[in-house]
Amino acid sequence: MRELLAFLAAGGRMWANQSPRKNRLSFSAIIRQAGTVSLVEVSGQLTSFEARGFRDAVHGLLVEGKTNIVLNLKDLDYLDSSGVGELVRNYLSVVKKGGAMKVVGLTSRVQEIFKVTQLYQVFPEFPDESSALASFPEDHRKKRSDTRQV
């Protein structure tokens, strides 16, 4: 059967489901703020089906002027070539706006993809969110924190 991509936006949430009849979550991004640094927790899969949701999340941050981003990929189950392309595309968008995109929480599977594709040379990797946040200049870490889900 053909898989459908359904975007359901409600209450500040965006869900991408490959198979609505199974109602299985295939992608989500939870965005938290730590000062001027945006922490984006990516869960599920990042493939051509979910790429739009990820792109919209990062684009929304850039529109708001939030150009320092930490991607937490500890709950990223699957990443294919389209997902790799989307990571690179968004990284370039952030850098062109004068920001930085860093990663934490690489699973062994995703870490292997980063090695094969040489993404480890592009994305600064940190062992945890605290270390990634500490790598930003202090003025980026001193403002109020809040959370939202995309």
Q: How confident is the model at residue 55 (pLDDT cuts 50, 70, 90)?
A: very high
For the entire predicted model, the pTM comes to 0.77
Q: How confident is the model at residue 16 (pLDDT cuts 50, 70, 90)?
A: very low
Q: How confident is the model at residue 1 (pLDDT cuts 50, 70, 90)?
A: very low
Rounded CA-CA distance 121/37 in Å is 22
Inform me whether the pLDDT recorded for 8 exceeds 50: no
Largest Cα–Cα separation, the chain: 52
CATH superfamily to which 27-134 belongs:
STAS domain (3.30.750.24)
pLDDT at position 26 = 85
**Strands annotated E in 5-139:** 6-10, 13-17, 27-34, 37-46, 68-79, 100-104, 125-126
The whole-number average pLDDT for the span 96-102 is 97
Q: Which residue has the higher pLDDT, 3 or 150?
A: 150
Q: Mean pLDDT check: name the lowest of 17-26, 91-100, 118-127.
A: 17-26
Q: What long-range pairs does 25-29 form, CB within 8 A, spacing at least 24? A: 26/50, 27/53, 27/54, 28/149, 28/150, 29/53, 29/54, 29/57, 29/149, 29/150
Residue 96 in tokens = 């062109």
Q: Is the dihedral of CA 62, 64, 67, 70 positive or negative?
A: negative
Residue 44 in tokens = 């599920």
Q: Which residue has the higher pLDDT, 15 or 67?
A: 67
